[in-house]
Structure 1
């Protein structure tokens, strides 16, 4: 494990809380994706059928169905239907056509993944058929059906509902599949994403070391914000957190909040928990940064800012200011989602060209703290 010092925190140190709670919803397609390439864009909609959508479920990095209408946000189609649109972007070469099912571009982490995939596909000169599942099982199935209609040769699959993967794989014909962050049996050719067990362990160990050094392992509760619908990703990542933490301190008074991987559900569940949980040394870990932002919002609303100590996963831009300025945000594991495209697109092209890609394909992980965040990111506009 990399040696990164975790800052010594003195209880009672004033907080500089700048919480970025606004999620920016993004579109399924748009003219900017093809500017300067001579590319064309085509929108195709199909009826989703009778697939159901679980309520408040999880993702490898995001889950619960957002509070939104049934209409996807499509920038170049004002009168969008209830069905997500598959947007085809033709690259300069157009030798292959690949599909991409986004988990939900309203999630900051996912938006970075999607943007990187678009950029890499355009640079590689391939046709990319993009469809946003909007964290919805029915829409993920509809996306798969649309990809089949479009005749894609391979799929980059970032849909979150692992239990739905057999049906979704079948809907797009079981073509070669690169699973992103959530495993996709039975059609998964190779997995690309986080080394979930190690990513959790890294942050858990750093957080446990902090609790040992500062509190001699004397703390109120260990709260885990999880997303069991994402299957193995949740099990491995949050299990890794526990393993790493227990390298330094035992788990005390554990509380698991499921479906708390979106900001609003996490805020609601943490608010309910905090009203019944006194104490000023509450450890909060989360499967992603959205859950952490919800926990921070709950603590601030209840005047409990000094009582909670946080560690999240992903280090997406929504949490940079918290890491830099909030002394109670201890450590995050970075995933660099903006780099995913540079891994999955070349890998898919190799597969479609008859090559073999050995997996899993893991993203790089780094521990990020207030001390080193600006070595990796330019943190500005924190107020």
Structure 2
């Protein structure tokens, strides 16, 4: 039986979601005796990601699975690996001219926007004073769709002026989100109907902490993206302003990625876009569980 080595450079070993992705990949690879796995941590740092790509190229792995936050350096990562003719699957943040596996961001945004619109129409008579959209400046149009589509769908169903949407960069981390959301909420202290759109679980949890610290739980509603255990725990709290979160099931990434890898190793062409199943978990669903 021919053996293959898969190289995986992970987004960060400090974020629950990407840790879960790496763990699921380790479990999936372990089920196949002809596969071995090398895992490296990109640490959400460009120089580290480039060095990791070079390490995989030097090892001459049979497949590189790349999960890195900065979409702008995707061509550099690709070129390093292409120099050794190593095929690439990009995870969640697309790299041009590679196969993609991850979130359908437009659909994730659409689902978030619909949940918000239904709640706002039912509880705030369709009125929204401001939307705080938490984003990540290192990703481009494809990933931004999860926020842009949420704003678009919300504006189609409620009384929202798009000039009342404020975008802030989360840095993809909890603490920076917390530090940036607090002053915004303090400036909006007189407003009664504020919507917050989280970019990922880390930014959503940071925003939730900021809301609690400034005492705005009764005036703010939040929808998150990509929740894992911590986000679902917040949904279970009846006093939390978190209304819903999309679930990308990071524990399922590994098996999907290994299936794509096996198809590549068998000489098949795999689709350019491969999406994880999406679900929305709401406060009401958790309460019924």
* Structure 2 contact 110–153 (Cα < 8 Å) conserved: yes
Q: Distance in 1 between matches of 2:240 and 2:77?
A: 43
Partner of 2:208: 296
* Structure 2 contact 137–171 (Cα < 8 Å) conserved: no
Q: Distance in 2 between matches of 1:165 and 1:375?
A: 43
Partner of 1:201: 110
Partner of 2:220: 308
Q: CA RMSD in A?
A: 1.8
Partner of 1:216: 125
1:332 aligned counterpart, secondary structure = strand
Q: Distance in 2 between matches of 1:94 and 1:284?
A: 50
1:287 and 2:199 are equivalent in the alignment: yes
TM-score by length of 2: 0.92
2:131 aligned counterpart, secondary structure = strand
Q: Distance in 2 between matches of 1:291 and 1:115?
A: 22
Partner of 2:182: 271
1:105 and 2:13 are equivalent in the alignment: yes
* Structure 1 contact 117–341 (Cα < 8 Å) conserved: yes
Q: Distance in 1 between matches of 2:170 and 2:5?
A: 35
Give the Å deviation of 1:318. 1.6
* Structure 2 contact 50–77 (Cα < 8 Å) conserved: yes
1:179 and 2:90 are equivalent in the alignment: yes
Q: Distance in 1 between matches of 2:240 and 2:174?
A: 20
Q: Distance in 1 between matches of 2:7 and 2:137?
A: 26
Give the Å deviation of 1:254. 0.9
Give the Å deviation of 1:373. 3.5
Give the Å deviation of 1:249. 1.1
Partner of 2:247: 334
Give the Å deviation of 1:202. 0.5
2:236 aligned counterpart, secondary structure = helix
Q: Distance in 2 between matches of 1:270 and 1:234?
A: 21
Distance 1:347 1:375, change over 3 A: farther
| Stretches of structure 2 lacking an aligned partner (at least 5 in a row) | none
* Structure 2 contact 27–254 (Cα < 8 Å) conserved: yes
Partner of 1:116: 24
* Structure 2 contact 128–160 (Cα < 8 Å) conserved: no
* Structure 1 contact 208–249 (Cα < 8 Å) conserved: yes
Looking at secondary structure, tell me which structure has more helix per residue. 2
* Structure 2 contact 127–159 (Cα < 8 Å) conserved: no
How many residues in Structure 1 have an aligned counterpart in Structure 2? 282
After TM superposition, where is structure 1 displaced by more than 3 Å over at least 4 residues in a row? Answer: 373-376
Give the Å deviation of 1:329. 1.2
Q: Distance in 1 between matches of 2:55 and 2:40?
A: 8
Give 1:42-191 correspondences, 5 Å limit. Answer: 95-125=3-33, 126-172=35-81, 173=83, 174-186=85-97, 188=98, 190-191=99-100
**Which of 222, 237, 241 is 2:146 aligned to?**
237
Q: Deviations over 1:317-376 (max 9, x none)?
A: 121111111442111111101100010111012112201222421111111012224888
TM-score by length of 1: 0.70
Q: Deviations over 1:71-130 (max 9, x none)?
A: xxxxxxxxxxxxxxxxxxxxxx77101111101121111011000011111112211111
